[in-house]
Copies of this chain bind each other. A is one copy, B any other.
Amino acid sequence: MNLRDLRYLLAVTEHEHFGRAAKASGVSQPTLSVQIRKLEDQLGVILFERSSKQAAPTAACLQVIDHARDAVAATEALLASAQSLRDPLAGRFRIGIIPTLAPYLLPLIFAPLREALPALEPEPWEDQTDALLERLRSHQLDAALLATEVDGPDLVSRALFDEPFLAALPPDHPLAARATVAEADLSQDILVLSDGHCLRDQAMEACGQTAALGGALRASSLPTLMNMVAAGYGTTLIPGLAAGAAQDAGLTLRPLEGRPGRTIRIAWRAHFPRRIAVEAIGDVIAERLSSFARGAAAGAV
C-alpha cells in the first residue's frame, strides 16, 4: 500500500467522480481507475460503487477513509516538521562548557551568537571535562567547549582562542609588589580546585607537580577559590576571562612570566551532521574573543 494510493482514495471520495478526482490529483483518469482498483484488490473490499453518473463511496470506504486521512495528515505533519528542521543553523543546540569557563565566557558570547545565528537555540550545559566528553559521545550534547585536546578518533576539535593564566594574589601578598610573577614563585602557597577540574591539572603542571600538595583545601569552584585567596589562604592561578570577577573579589592580578595559558577548543563528534552549526558557533566565539586575546597579550608585556 502506498501513500499515493491513499491520496487518490481521498480524492475520489471527495469528488465522487474519477475524472474530476484525477484532474484534482494531477493524473489521468485511467491511472486513478487502475490504482483504486489495485487498492480495492489489496484490501479485498469494494471502495466505490461505480455508475455512469458517479462513483459513490461504499460503507467500507467511509469506514476506511478516516485512517487514510490520518495517514496522509501524519505524513504532511512529518514533512512540515522536517521543513522546520532543515536549517542546521536553527533549532536546539546542546553545548557543554566547563565550569571554569562558562560563567565568564557565556555573557560575552550570548549577544553575538544571537545576532549571528538568530534561529539557533543554544542550550548550555555546565560540567567537568570528562562528563562533557561522555555526554558528547552518547549524543546528549552536540558540542563542547573545553580547555583540553580531545583524545579518540570519534571526536574532533578546533581551537577557538588562547586564554592566558594570571597570578591571583591577596592584595597584601609579597608577590603583589612585582609587575609580573614567575610560576615557580606561586607554587609555594598555591591553592587549586578540586579533582576533575582541568584547570587544577593545568595549574599544577604550570607550577610544578608537587605544588599544592600541602594545601588540604581544594575549592570546588573558581569563585570559592578566589574567595579563599582573597581571605589570605594562599595564591592561585586563574584563567584570563575570570579577571574581572577576580578583581571584584578583591584579588590582585599579575601577568605570569612566559605567558602560560590554556587553549579553549570546541569539540564535536567526527560524524556530527550539523558541523556547519559547530563551525558557525566557533567562528562567533573566535571573533568575539580575538580582541581579548590581543589585549591579554598586550597586558602581559
Contact = CB atoms under 8 A, between A and B. Distances in A.
A271 interface: yes
Given A269-B49, A270-B51, A81 B56 contact: no
Interface size class of A (residues with CB under 8 A): 35 or more
B273 A46 contact: yes
A75 B272 contact: no
Interface string A1-30: 111101000000000000000000000000
Nearest to A55: B271
A259 B49 CA distance: 40
Contact of A45 (B4, B49, B67, B85): B85
A194 to B, nearest CB: 33
Interface string A182-226: 000000000000000000000000000000000000000000000
Interface of A: 1-4, 6, 43-46, 49-51, 56, 58-60, 63-64, 67-68, 70-71, 74-75, 77-79, 81-83, 85-86, 91-92, 139, 142, 154, 269-274
